[in-house]
Amino acid sequence: MNFEISSGKLKVKVNSRGAELSSVLLEGVERLWQANTSIWPRHAPVLFPIVGKLKRDTYLFSDKNYNLNQHGFARDNEFTLVNKTHNKIVFELRTNDSTLERYPFEFSLQVIYSVEETKINCSYIVSNVSKHKMYFGIGAHPGFKIPIHLNEKFTDYYLVFESERPFYISKLNNGLLSETKEELVLTNGKIKVTKELFENDALVFENAQVNSVSLVSSISKNGIELDCKNWPYFGIWGKKGCEEFICLEPWHGITDSVNANGDLKQKKGINKLNSGESFECSFSMNFF
């Protein structure tokens, strides 16, 4: 079921399935990718309890192997509506029989959206309600529709970074982290959007390099700025060969490396919570 919140300028719809943003209208103009099933059938999935892929889609915990698909199961589960006002909405997913088959921890995941003027604020609260230490990843995967306007092209857009300092991307090998890193070549802190940019999969940034990044049209000057200070990982993804959307993705967690041993406790980027503890993170998306 879709629910709507609004700031007046910004009208936002959120689907209870996956607690996923499904529409972002700024003064009547759609800014979110509209989940064309023949290209990429999602809008802005919430990634939990892992980010990215597991090597062989499996992990080991307490001497037992578990199967878990890319980005985890939250995006495919029905969330419960906890609270809603005209400009804020709170959803929650809790442990169920299906999640326990793939993830042996009792948890609560709250997803909170609020809107003000032209900005969406998003928060995730992960709570460990089990008696044992819990291991998890959490991340966002919003897809932004470009071009925004009919008189624009995909290649009229730029990714604008927060500074002109060097940024380094970690290369992927079949969705897993390789040992190779390379500098992302920027001009005045910008890089032109082309479909070739994603020829070798997503651009993956480790070590908290990205605090904010913008996706901006050189024609209309319209776009989006995503702020995610203190998130350790960041991804930028466009579907190979597609010229219709780009995803800007802050992560607390990351895909397995090609050398991963499968032990969840030793997984790169894994977060840990003791019994009764909670973890909170947030980011914002400002549309202009």
For residue range 33-70, list pLDDT tens digits in order. Answer: 999 999 999 999 999 999 999 999 999 999 999 999 99
CA dihedral 226, 113, 33, 4 (to 10 degrees): -140
Contact 166, 183 (CB under 8 A): yes
The count of structural domains within the chain is 1
Q: Is 186 left (phi over 0), alpha (psi -120 to 50) or beta?
A: beta
Q: How many CB atoms lie within 10 A of CB 280?
A: 12
Predicted pLDDT of residue 199: 94
174 CB-near residues (< 8 Å, 6+ apart): none
Q: Going residue by residue through the chain (288 aa), what tens digit of pLDDT does each one get?
A: 999 999 999 999 999 999 999 999 999 999 999 999 999 999 999 999 999 999 999 999 999 999 999 999 999 999 999 999 999 999 999 999 999 999 999 999 999 999 999 999 999 999 999 999 999 999 999 999 999 999 999 999 999 999 999 999 999 999 999 999 999 999 999 999 999 999 999 999 999 999 999 999 999 999 999 999 999 999 999 999 999 999 999 999 999 999 999 999 999 999 999 999 999 999 999 999
Distances (CA, A) of 206 to 117, 120, 127, 252: 31, 25, 25, 10
Contact 195, 154 (CB under 8 A): yes
Q: What's the one-letter identity of residue 72?
A: G
Q: Could you give the strand order of the β-sheet that contains 29-30, starting from the edge strand earlier in sequence?
A: 2-6, 10-15, 20-26, 29-30
Q: Is 39 left (phi over 0), alpha (psi -120 to 50) or beta?
A: alpha
28: CATH: 2.70.98.10
Range of the domain at 34: 2-287
Q: What gap in Å lies between CA 244 and CA 221, rounded to an integer?
A: 17
Contact 19, 230 (CB under 8 A): no
